Structure 1
Amino acid sequence: MMKQQFLKHCKEQGYFQNHKKVLLAISGGLDSMTLLDLLYDSQSELQIELVLAHVNHKQRLESEYEEKELEKIAKKLGVKIVTSSFSGVFSEKAARDFRYQFFRKIMQEENCSALVTAHHADDQAETIFMRILRGSRLRYVSGIQDRQPFGSGELIRPLLPFSKSDFPNIFHFEDVTNQESIYFRNRVRNNYLPLLKKENPQLNQALISLGSEIDQLQKALFELTRDIDTTNIQIFRKQSPFVQNFLLQQYLSQFSDLQLSKIQFDEVLHILNTKVNHHYYLKNQYELIQDYQTFKIQKISPKSDLKSDTILLQFGEVLEFGNYYFSFGKKIPNGADQEIIVSRETDILLRYRQAGDKMLLNGHHKKIRRYFIDNKYSLRERKQAIIVEQKDEILAIAGIVTSDLSKYLKHDIMKDVLYIKKIDR
């Protein structure tokens, strides 16, 4: 019965209409073995050729045996299989990044125009619940998309309408690590959702319906705002704050490796509404460039000699800004020139001096301009001065002086240290 439903679903959605050769990611678990069985039996109806890809994560004693067995199965079916072994320090994210990088590579080498994965309805419910717990933005609570651009082709998830309980108990391998509670998804799957299902046995479907409704609302908003020229500053500023928020999120969605924190997102919104001729470093080598008429976000060119006006430093990050290295929470090798007590609850804003800047010194707020004059700092030193700001309060001038506010934080249970070292050029 499931095979007929699966084939009908694939044809209705037109998943493989433009694909002749597809790459199937296969782990050996029930999900991917079920998808292999379905696609293998449907090759002629869907007019596709299969290539299999398997990653050995090297985390279990059984991994080598399972890889060899999958190779035997592929040979028996007459389907090509390509394998790779994970290397490096293992984490869920590192393993996922490794897999998808490998899939991109094989798609190109094997001339496959689509990657197919075995995500199903239970995965969808878990993902939506996990994103709610993490406080993700609404657009991401819509869950996993059944198809999306990937590499030079497309990523397709044809099993999303089907629950794992629908799958026949065919030959597969059991991964015992799926029961380990050290992984967030395992805790959600094995602990949190079963407990909540005692209150609502239809919780999975409720979560999926919520995700679907959010997805529809996002698409409706896109339709209503598609004619707005987002990057035109004057047009952008005429929109309500709610529309601006959506427009900026929609604009940022094109940069898959740029995930801004809420603080950074709000800072970008503030810049777009108040600044002119501004240049702002974001993260992951992206920058915001704004002039009087337009703005754009782009990867930083290695040859760019533009100087960012501001930069956000997140906990655990180390970066170079101006003539200094800044390390939030990590000691600098060979020692720091200045150590500032800060809160690790929020990002640190690094920027150049602005007119009217004041900081708390010796119990009194003093203009930084006056501080420089009194202490006979040169115009060049004043121009190059880096302001360290957190929660809209100036905590220090890099390499020069620390505010009383920083000293007050030494009794804060959420305190940490910002390490600063001057760069010898």
Structure 2
Amino acid sequence: MEKKILASIQKKGYFKDHRRVLVALSGGLDSMTLFEILYRHQRELDIEVLVAHVNHKQRPESDTEERLLKAKMEKLGVEMATSSFSGVFSEERARKFRYDFFKTVMEEKHCTALVTAHHQDDQAETIFMRLLRGSRLRHLMGIPERQVFGQGELIRPLLSFRKSDFPEIEHFVDKTNAENHYLRNRIRNLYLPALERENLQVSQHLVDLSDEVSNIYQSLSYFIREIDLTSVPTFQSYPDFIQTILLQEYLANFPDVAISKAQFKEILHILQKSGNYRHHVKNDYVLIKDYATFRLEKISLRADENAGSFLLEYGNTLEYGGYLFSFGKPLATRASWEILVSRETPLLLRHRKAGDYLLYRGHRKKVRRLFIDKKLSLKEREEAIIVEQAKEIRTIVGIAVSDLSQRGKSDIINGKLYIQKIE
């Protein structure tokens, strides 16, 4: 089996562009198998192996296992980095902690590849878990063999091998794997064994399904490679079912944004409409759309909004600075403010600038002086949103309304701006 795994690694050329390789070492059978093979064949693979271990502090044996692993690596002359998880434990928090640590070690030790011991059983469990959770078809592609990670690459050389194929070598046994508190454990210990009583090949069939889905999406990517995915006119020229695929393809460029089905439908709806939009998605990502293009952008919201300004046309809706603005169309829920404006010209949403003033209570009032009078903090002043129309300030949201937007003050008032604070 060791020869088969080594031959697979060489055939697929996993390490042809890597010299210093970091192995994620838990101490279990799978990671110890991977380490032993890479360590013994460093010269053939032309690599130097380092290891990283995370002590999750969830079992009495954890500290002992860490100490024994350190002793083993010291004896073998293998550089080893360790870290201990702290805080409230969950599978998701632990996973994020591990991979953040691995990324840091890679940078500090100048490794260009992280290698993990995920195997075919892990793949089958992942596909089954995603089926249970109702994941999109795209997500049934499962765990990739290779992917970009930090400044390097994450490689999983054992994905085509089952855990039962691994030779019995010295390793630690995590007794919690036999417990069924977590869904993955129930899938491994209960659900898949029950299905295998109906069909011994069920795990292989799940992996085959994953491969087929992967082939389909690779083919789709090939056929739509010439399409400008961020062109609004191009996007809107296709029927809904193709728009769905195009949007999925675009969002695949942002693996750290886990878009729910509801959020996906919301984004799709925005792209199908006319007008400008600025829509907060999640994880500091914002969807920015105008009449010509759209883009998903990870930004420092405060810095971007202080620098940016946005036009809002009549009949359109826009998210900006923690508020929802609807020009001419009442919102589904009662608006926090309703501002009288003209519907003949667009509104400009922006932050303050030097020299700003508005007509306020019969006087021309400097915005700077207004902020002082209202005893606003520096943060409140910087984040204040100004609504301007025809180069006149109509309102400073939640702070003041211009005389120009009072009833009876202008004969061109024929529209409303609805503003709702987003909780």
Task: Specify the TM-score bucket, using the shorter chain as the normaliser.
Answer: 0.7 to 0.9
**What corresponds to 2:230 in structure 1?**
231
Q: Give unpaired runs (5+ residues) of structure 1.
A: 313-319, 323-350, 362-367, 370-377, 389-419, 421-425
Return the alpha-carbon distance in structure 1 between the equivalents of residues 65 and 168 of structure 2. Answer: 18
Amino acid at match of 1:321: G
* RMSD over aligned Cα atoms: 2.7
> Given the alignment of the two structures, is residue 289 of structure 1 paired with residue 263 of structure 2, yes or no?
no
- Contact 1:3–1:38 under 8 Å retained in 2: yes
Offset at residue 275 of structure 1 (A): 2.2
Mapped partners of 2:62, 2:262: distance in 1: 42
Q: 2:269 is paired with a residue of what secondary structure?
A: helix
1:357 aligns with 2:330: yes
Q: Which has the larger radius of gyration?
A: 2
Tell whether the 8 Å contact from 2:328 to 2:418 is kept in structure 1 after alignment: no
**CA positional deviation for 1:356:** 4.7
Is 2:420 the counterpart of 1:386?
yes
Q: Are 1:52 and 2:86 matched, yes or no?
A: no
Question: For residue 40 of structure 1, what is the amino acid of its counterpart?
Answer: Y
1:179 positional shift: 1.5
Letter in structure 1 aligned against 2:209? L
Q: How far apart, in 2, do the equivalents of 1:196 and 1:275 lie?
A: 49
CA positional deviation for 1:268: 1.2
Aligned equivalent of 2:99: 100
- Secondary structure in 2 matching 1:383: strand
For 2:101 and 2:209, the matched residues in 1 are separated by: 33
Instruction: Tell me if structure 2 keeps the 8 A contact 1:26–1:54.
Output: yes
Q: How far apart, CA to CA, are the structure 2 residues paired with 1:359 and 1:19?
A: 55
- C-alpha contact 2:331 2:418 (8 A) present in aligned 1: no
- C-alpha distance 63-358 of structure 1, shift in aligned 2 (>3 A): closer
2:318 and 2:233 mapped to 1: Cα distance? Answer: 22
After TM superposition, the structure 1 = structure 2 runs for residues 16-35 of structure 1, keeping only pairs within 5 Å, are 16-35=15-34
Q: Distance in 2 between matches of 1:43 and 1:164?
A: 23
For 2:360, the equivalent position in structure 1 comes to none
Structure 1 residue 355 displacement after superposition: 3.3
Distance of 1:163 and 1:270 partners within structure 2:
43
- In 2, the alpha carbon distance for the partners of 1:158 and 1:360 equals 53
Contact 2:327-2:418 within 8 A present in 1 as well:
no
- The CA distance in 1 between the partners of 2:211 and 2:419, in whole Å, is 50
SS of aligned partner of 1:279: strand
> What does residue range 78-117 of structure 1 map to in structure 2 within 5 Å?
78-117=77-116
Count the aligned residue pairs. Answer: 343
Residue 220 of structure 2 corresponds to which residue in structure 1?
221
How far did residue 384 of structure 1 move? 5.3
SS in 1 for 2:88: coil
Tell me if structure 2 keeps the 8 A contact 1:282–1:311: no
Task: Name the CA shift for 1:203/1:291 in 2 (closer, same or farther; >3 Å).
Answer: same
Alpha-carbon distance in structure 1 between the residues aligned to 2:154 and 2:146: 5
Look up the match of 1:241.
240
Q: Which residue of 2 aligns with 1:254?
A: 253
Q: CA deviation at 1:287?
A: 1.0
- TM-aligned CA distance change 1:210 to 1:360, over 3 Å: closer
Give CA-to-partner distance per residue, 1:154-210, whole Å, 9 cap, x none.
Answer: 000000011011011110001111122111110111111111111111100000000
Contact 1:281 1:310 in 2 (8 A): no
> What is the match of residue 322 of structure 2?
321
Deviation at 1:255, TM superposition (A): 1.6
What is the identity, as a one-letter code, of the residue corresponding to 1:198? R
Which range moves more in the overlay, 128-137 or 111-120? 128-137
- Residue 93 of structure 1 aligns to a residue in which SS? helix
1:156–1:291 CA distance, 2 compared to 1 (3 A): same
Q: CA deviation at 1:261?
A: 1.5
Cα distance change, pair 311–57 in 1 and its aligned pair in 2 (3 A): farther
Displacement of 1:227 in angstroms is 0.5
Bigger drift between 130-139 and 297-306 goes to 297-306
Q: 1:298: which partner in 2?
A: 297
**Cα deviations across residues 53-81 of structure 1 (Å, max 9, x unaligned)?**
00000001100000000011111211111
What's 1:43 paired with?
A: 42
Please report the TM-score for the alignment, with normalisation by the length of structure 2.
Answer: 0.76
In structure 1, the residue matched to 2:143 is 144
Alignment of 1:123-162 (within 5 A): 123-162=122-161
Q: State the alpha-carbon separation in 2 of the partners of residues 80 and 167 from structure 1.
A: 25
The yes-or-no answer on 1:119 pairing with 2:118 is yes
Report runs of 4+ in structure 1 exceeding 4 Å deviation.
Answer: 306-312, 358-361, 378-382
Question: 1:66 matched to which residue of 2?
Answer: 65
1-structure distance, mates of 2:276, 2:318: 13
The answer (yes or no) to whether the contact 2:277–2:318 under 8 Å persists in 1 is: no
Query: Matched residues in 1 for 2:159 and 2:176: separation?
Result: 23
TM-score, length of structure 1 as denominator length:
0.76
For residues 231-287 of structure 1, the C-alpha deviation after alignment (integer angstroms, 9 at most, x for no partner) is: 111111112322211111111122222122212211111111212222212111111
1:187 aligns with 2:162: no
Distance 2:330 2:136 in 1: 34
Determine if contact 1:285/1:300 at 8 Å carries over to the other structure: yes
SS in 2 for 1:54: strand
Q: More displaced, 155-164 or 255-264? A: 255-264
Indicate conservation of the 8 Å contact 2:278/2:288, yes or no: yes
